[in-house]
Amino acid sequence: MSKVKYYYDSETLSYKKIERKKGRRFGIVLLSIFGSFLAGFLLLVVYLNIPQIETPKEKALKRELQNMQLQYGLLNKKMNQIQNVLGNIEDRDNNIYRLYFEANPIPEETRKAGFGGINRYKDLEGFDNSKLIIETSKRMDILTKQLVVQSKSLDEIAELAKEKEDLLAAIPAIQPVKNEDLTRIASGYGWRTDPFTKVRKFHFGMDFTAPRGTPVYASGDGQVTRADNHSTGYGNHIRIDHGYGYVSLYAHLYKYNVRKGQKVKRGDIIGFVGSTGRSEAPHLHYEIFKDDEHINPINFYYGNLSPEEFDEVLKKAQQENQSLD
């Protein structure tokens, strides 16, 4: 309860109660409120204009910016690591893989080329950290392009490896009859004496002696293009197209074990030794063509012979004797 105050009235010589005016009281309250608001506003203006003092929002944004810079720094470190690994792969790609498969190396400027034309990073300009963001984005784009180039290169190498594997399987690289004791070679490629005319003429294949019915093997993967007796002198014969320009021919057969159009693998039995056509005795006449030209079959027997065995076969094939056809 507030105290009651009095004043002395000299005219009436008595004490009278002091009555407070309501309007004045309201004015004091209003002035106090206004003063408080004004003081708060002035403090806020001062607070916002002093650089050393940060608002909670500014502090949050600053922390977010510092975190972003940290993340970009870590991202650049990871890109450095990826760049080192990719550089090692690129080096092996150019100097080992592509060299082995006889493919042209990919130039460095092609692998690390930038992007021409319009400014791809215009939207990233005008910020406090634009330089950091733009440089990181450029590195990321170049790294992505390098990965794309390397990926395409590895796809090409895989395709070349598959072709190399197919080529190695297609080359007629084994003897067409079993010749474990190396005694079946009767006549080689080159000038020989004709068994019928006794005239010296060029023999375009190799003759392997063998009993009638001895299995004849495909010397490489391929497709049978002929299995007939319509070529003069060859009798029953088979031709296999191995691809890559290689064709092998097997003549004087007793009978066939394949038909025209059939695909065969190296080592498949395709027929049996006979003496059909222009033949003096049961044997297999074997020829190899490369791009429609005869070549010496002796150069392809690396598939099932040791170096010593190959030397022995080479000596026998080089003897100038009489052929069997």
Q: What is the DSSP string of 214-279?
A: -EEE-SSSEEEEEEES-STTT-SEEEEEEETTEEEEEESEEEESS-TT-EE-TT-EEEEEB--SS-
Give the residue with greater pLDDT, 110 vs 276.
276
Q: Which amino acid is at 88?
A: N
Query: Mean pLDDT, the chain, as a whole number?
Result: 82
**Confidence at residue 275, expressed as pLDDT on a 0 to 100 scale:** 93
Level-2 CATH architecture, domain 185-318? Distorted Sandwich (2.70)
pLDDT at 1 exceeding the cut of 60: no
Give the residue with greater pLDDT, 16 vs 283.
283
**Confidence at residue 21, expressed as pLDDT on a 0 to 100 scale:** 61
Most confident of 57-71, 134-148, 162-176, 208-222: 208-222
Give the residue with greater pLDDT, 84 vs 282.
282
Most confident of 8-17, 49-58, 76-85: 76-85
Q: Which amino acid is at 71?
A: Q
**Confidence at residue 195, expressed as pLDDT on a 0 to 100 scale:** 84
CA dist 242 and 170 (Å) reads 5
Q: What is the DSSP string of 171-190?
A: S--S-SS--TTS--EEE-SE
% of residues, the chain, pLDDT over 90: 29
Q: Among 56-60, 176-180, 204-208, which is the least confidently predicted range?
A: 56-60
Give the residue with greater pLDDT, 103 vs 176.
176
Do 4 and 17 touch, CB atoms closer than 8 A?
yes
pLDDT at 46 exceeding the cut of 70: no
Q: If you average pLDDT over residues 81-90, what whole number do you get?
A: 82
Most confident of 23-27, 42-46, 66-70, 196-200: 196-200
Instruction: Copy the structure tokens of residue 25.
Output: 């009281």
First to last CA, the chain: 145
% of residues, the chain, pLDDT over 70: 85
Give the residue with greater pLDDT, 64 vs 194.
194
pLDDT interval class at 243 (50, 70, 90): very high
pLDDT interval class at 51 (50, 70, 90): low
CA dist 200 and 239 (Å) reads 26
Most confident of 67-81, 105-119, 245-259: 245-259
pLDDT interval class at 47 (50, 70, 90): low
114 in helix, strand or coil?
coil
CA dist 48 and 265 (Å) reads 87
Do 231 and 223 touch, CB atoms closer than 8 A?
no
- Domain ranges, ordered by start, for the chain: 6-48, 67-170, 185-318
Q: If you average pLDDT over residues 22-30, what whole number do you get?
A: 67
pLDDT at 20 exceeding the cut of 70: no
Instruction: Copy the structure tokens of residue 49.
Output: 């204009």
pLDDT interval class at 319 (50, 70, 90): confident
Q: If you average pLDDT over residues 86-92, what whole number do you get?
A: 82
